[in-house]
Amino acid sequence: MHDGCTGPTADGRSVADKVRMMGFNKQPMPMPLELTCANCDHTFSMTFFEASCPECNMVYAVTPCHAGDAANVKAAGINY
């Protein structure tokens, strides 16, 4: 049971927790997003609804409903 696209998404940890609770964290996104890490400025491709920067391990997450725009991806914290 989940809130779909509603519910807490104010910060990265809330988004990561929600994606994990819904079971989407290890599922591939419909289309990869290019991200620049907020922590180390490394650019990488986000291919799953939860991903980590390969340089510094900053965790990022996005809900499936909002995965079409990199602006909706939230940083949750290093090794979160």
Burial bucket for residue 76 (CB in 10 Å: 0-12, 13-18, 19+): buried
Q: Specify if 3 maps to a domain.
A: no
Q: Specify if 7 maps to a domain.
A: no
pTM: 0.90
Report which residue type is found at 75. A
The domain total for the chain is 1
Task: Please report, in tens digits, the pLDDT of each residue of the chain (80 residues total).
Answer: 445 566 666 799 999 999 999 999 999 999 999 999 999 999 999 999 999 999 999 999 999 999 999 999 999 999 99
Q: Specify if 2 maps to a domain.
A: no
Domain of residue 23, residue span: 12-78
Q: Specify if 55 maps to a domain.
A: yes
